[in-house]
Chains A and B, each alone.
Chain A
Amino acid sequence: MSTTRHPGLNLGPHHGKADDTAEVEVFGFWVFMMSDAIIFGLLMATYVVMSGNLNGGPGPRELFELRPVFIETMLLLFSSLTFGFAQIGMKYHPHPARMIIWLLVSIALALIFVGMEVNDFITMAGKGGVPQASGFLSSFYALVPLHGIHVTAACIWAFAILGQIAVYGLDDEVKTGMLRLGILWHFLDIVWIGIFSIVYIGGLA
């Protein structure tokens, strides 16, 4: 067994053997995130290559609005902050109430983000910005909604963790699950910053 400890294991004061398991699971999840990062990286690169292929259809200036996208960015960033509060709650408070509240806040922020994003897509479609219109829009819709689907999946995972708390309380499995979900949650923030910069700022610059 490797003796190097992975940093950032925050299970709480008494975790003993769970720490060994968490060590492996968290490391494994980081590796998984690397492969997911490749997917987003390639889709962003493809978007950059395709962004000039307007095919006579609408371009970024006609379709993108910075205001809602900025609000979405803030929502996502704040949900990362509140997720951090949830993890602090998990580490320092044996009773899960505080963690559950912050987790619910994080889920709510993320779901509002997804809702606003869907609204953006509908607005875009109203202006002729559908994926079938051009290579540019195809690559946009291949990239941005995939992030939204990830956020939705992360929310479902969070609900599953809440369900596990309801059944088992704040046990070791819930805690290691929270550690991994946290990695995904913050990772999706980083991906969104990439999308915000490359797709939206880049398109409107």
Chain B
Amino acid sequence: MSDLWSLIFGRLTLDALPVMEIIHATNGRELASGIVGTAAAGLAVLGALYLLYALTKYRLWGPVWRNWLTSVDHKKIGIMYIVLALVMLARALAEAFVMRTQQVLGDGGGGLVSNEHFAQLFSTHGTIMIFFMAMPFLTGLINYVMPLQIGARDVAFPTMNSVSLGFTAAGAVLLMISLVLQPFSTGGWTGYPPFTEAAFNPGPGPDYWIWAVTLSGIGTTLSGINFVVTIYKFRCDGMKLMDMPLFCWTSLCTSILMIFALPPLTVATGLLALDRYFGFHMFTNGGGGNMMNFANLFWLFGHPEVYILILPAFGVYSEVFSTFSSKTLYGYTALVIATMCIAVLSFTVWVHHFFTMGQSANLNAIFGIATMLIGIPTGVKIYDWMLTMYRGRVRMAVPMVYAVAFLILFTIGGLSGILLANPSLDYVMHNTLFLVAHFHNMLIPGLLFGMLAGYTLWFPKAFGFILDPKWGYRAAYLWIAGFVFAFFPLYGLGFLGMPRRMAEYFNGAWFPLTIVALLGAVLIIAAFACLCIQLYVSIRDREALAVPMGDPWDSRTLEWAVPAPAPEWNFPATPEVEGRDAFATLKEGGYDLRAPDDGYHDIEMPRNSALGPVLMVSSTAMAFGLVWYMWWLAALGAVVCFAATVAYGFRRDTHHIIKAADVKAEWEAFCALADTTPRIPRSLEQTTQNMGHAIPASEEIIS
């Protein structure tokens, strides 16, 4: 019996169910820990079951398969990425809340979750926030916005785009499975060996981490290739590189970083897998291994990754400041050069992640100086954004609230980074909560606020109605306050010497600040709740909030030149533009909403493909089999992955034609609607009178 069991299920036994922690509990804390774990797993299972039920009850399987899962439309793929990001954000926020609670209750020992459980919490929280919240969010925004901004019909490789999403989703699914069939890794999001080696951590936890991260890493590499080729080859006529909207520039630099920085991650996790599965000695303590190899490989990925995360947000902020100040971006050239400098410098600083691991003082000094240099182009950017607002007609719309908060908070975070970049100071503060405060200070106001600003800014383009501003402000202010309360105390705790990742402690001086941080976590949960309510309210009131004319903010770039939601074919004819702020120029000259100069033509669009979802399912199966030593499943998954890819090469009928007459009819209807829709001034843009038809800024100033 046990032979047959292990042949089918490998090392997966009933002990993997979190409810077993309750059954085996020997004290109150283990009981509580088991209840927390079981509740979380229960929520995940219930959520999945409800999804299946709803899809079946409302007969949505067919439409979801045809219109979404197999779609290779960059806009739909972008939306799916962002949905994935928001779902994973909810889970990682809940984990953060449990961790903050534990650090309050952990004063004098005890608490809500066991030490082992706490270690899993910070590992999944970090892994999810980086790989399955931040990365899908920014990839989704780039996917949706960038091709529209450069006047393209789609990305260069639409099916590969769907495959990228499939791999990212596969990693996310694996993480959700690890909630139900435990345990996840206890090695942190960086998964440092030798702690994650088989000798110290033989269970399935680190394997979950390895395969989830590897899958999403491959997906991201492919996304980077796709975006780079799209930007180089698919810009519309007249759009030179130095005419691109800044979001496209940051997308380009981010994509280049993806291409060069993700392979080191794949190498690091791949070698760790060789150590764990085949007894290699790459990073082991004995046998001639050297874990510093891992530190170098991982941070050769990990440091540029920080800029992969932040650059698209910089792009969003550039669009926000320019749009809501009704001005062209100040210092465009400087912003582009600064972006490139940051991208290049990001590869020169990775050693600052292990200043204290025994290399020479000279090496530390060199990397410390290289690290501080990044402050220069970043400072240039901050000044450019401030000068964009200067003498502009600034409107404090929701994205602008995030952007202004970003300017202030991100600068504070940058200053704490300059402290950490000094190796001698780093010796004092490394591995304390000061570090945790620093990188959350960069990533929440920097990345997350930027993503939320972008979400608010481009939502009407994707769905045809704006997000309810009232709940948007509530969410924004709660995010800002929540961030300040949750993370500024951690700077203090760091100075008091509190190590990070600590489940229980016996130093009463730390206790008061942990309570403040918990209060911050409560505010952040409330902020997320506001975002959910905002989405609900906006969908409910979508008729009143509708902006079918597609330009609710008097924006300046091409994506606003088409109806909202954007049609499948993006543009009736690929536009021809001159100079920066392409759409602003068109509007001012009255050339928007015109028929294409040389008439309408048939448009060739890529057909749907099942390759993405097939690879998603088969790679999830392969990874799950590898985690639990279910070798048959791993082999099956691998074979299906491989066969599907080869079979895809045999596809020939890959395009369908959209008739010129259909495009003409749709576009003329849109133009006819424009004639009857009033243009509104900026003062009315947050009201229900806004139909997405703005008065150009120049005209409004004259009148």
List residues of chain A with CB under 8 Å of any chain B CB.
1-2, 23-25, 27-28, 31-32, 34-36, 38-39, 42-43, 46, 49-50, 53-55, 57, 131-136, 138-139, 141-142, 156, 160-161, 163-164, 167-168, 171, 173, 177
4 closest residue pairs by CB, A with B:
A135-B288, A55-B288, A53-B288, A138-B280
Within 8 A of A (CB), among B229-280: 229, 232-237, 259-260, 262-264, 266-267, 270-271, 274-275, 278-280
Alpha-carbon separation in the docked complex, A133 to B280 (Å): 8
| Secondary structure type dominating chain A contacts | helix
Answer whether A164 and B228 are a contact pair too, CB < 8 Å, given A2-B235, A38-B264, A42-B264: no
Find out whether the CB atom of A138 lies under 8 angstroms from the CB atom of B646. no
Find out whether the CB atom of B263 lies under 8 angstroms from the CB atom of A35. yes
Q: How far is the CB of B150 from chain A (nearest CB, A)?
A: 11
Find out whether the CB atom of B646 lies under 8 angstroms from the CB atom of A156. yes
Q: Other than A38-B260, A46-B282, give 17 A-B pairs with Cβ distance below 8 A.
A: A1-B235, A2-B232, A2-B233, A23-B233, A28-B156, A28-B157, A39-B263, A42-B267, A46-B271, A46-B297, A53-B290, A132-B279, A138-B289, A141-B274, A156-B646, A160-B650, A173-B649
Alpha-carbon separation in the docked complex, A134 to B290 (Å): 11
Find out whether the CB atom of B263 lies under 8 angstroms from the CB atom of A135. no
A168 (CB) vs chain B CBs: closest residue:
B652
Alpha-carbon separation in the docked complex, A173 to B574 (Å): 25
Measured between beta carbons, the chain B residues less than 8 angstroms from A1 are 233-237, 574
Q: How far is the CB of B119 from chain A (nearest CB, A)?
A: 28
Find out whether the CB atom of B281 lies under 8 angstroms from the CB atom of A138. yes
- In the complex, B221 has a CB within 8 A of chain A: yes
Find out whether the CB atom of B225 lies under 8 angstroms from the CB atom of A54. no
B264 (CB) vs chain A CBs: closest residue:
A42
B573-616: contact bitstring with A at CB < 8 Å (1 yes, 0 no)?
01000000000000000000000000000000000000000000
Q: How far is the CB of B267 from chain A (nearest CB, A)?
A: 5
Find out whether the CB atom of B288 lies under 8 angstroms from the CB atom of A136. yes
- In the complex, B698 has a CB within 8 A of chain A: no
Can you list 8 A-B pairs with a CB-CB distance of less than 8 A? A24-B156, A28-B157, A28-B225, A31-B225, A42-B263, A46-B267, A131-B274, A173-B652
Measured between beta carbons, the chain B residues less than 8 angstroms from A167 are 650
Q: How far is the CB of A96 from chain B (nearest CB, A)?
A: 16
Measured between beta carbons, the chain A residues less than 8 angstroms from B297 are 42, 46
Q: How far is the CB of B603 from chain A (nearest CB, A)?
A: 14
Measured between beta carbons, the chain A residues less than 8 angstroms from B274 are 131, 138, 141-142
B237 (CB) vs chain A CBs: closest residue:
A1
Measured between beta carbons, the chain B residues less than 8 angstroms from A177 are 649
Q: B293's contact among A25, A32, A49, by CB below 8 Å, is which?
A: A49
Alpha-carbon separation in the docked complex, A25 to B278 (Å): 37
Q: How far is the CB of B152 from chain A (nearest CB, A)?
A: 9
- In the complex, B300 has a CB within 8 A of chain A: yes
Find out whether the CB atom of A55 lies under 8 angstroms from the CB atom of B281. yes
Alpha-carbon separation in the docked complex, A43 to B271 (Å): 9
B222 (CB) vs chain A CBs: closest residue:
A32
Find out whether the CB atom of B282 lies under 8 angstroms from the CB atom of A138. yes
Measured between beta carbons, the chain B residues less than 8 angstroms from A36 are 263
B290-302: contact bitstring with A at CB < 8 Å (1 yes, 0 no)?
1001000100100
Measured between beta carbons, the chain A residues less than 8 angstroms from B278 are 131-132
A138 (CB) vs chain B CBs: closest residue:
B280
Measured between beta carbons, the chain A residues less than 8 angstroms from B264 are 38, 42
Measured between beta carbons, the chain B residues less than 8 angstroms from A132 are 278-281, 287
Alpha-carbon separation in the docked complex, A57 to B280 (Å): 14
Measured between beta carbons, the chain A residues less than 8 angstroms from B156 are 24, 28
Find out whether the CB atom of A164 lies under 8 angstroms from the CB atom of B229. no
A135 (CB) vs chain B CBs: closest residue:
B288
A43 (CB) vs chain B CBs: closest residue:
B267
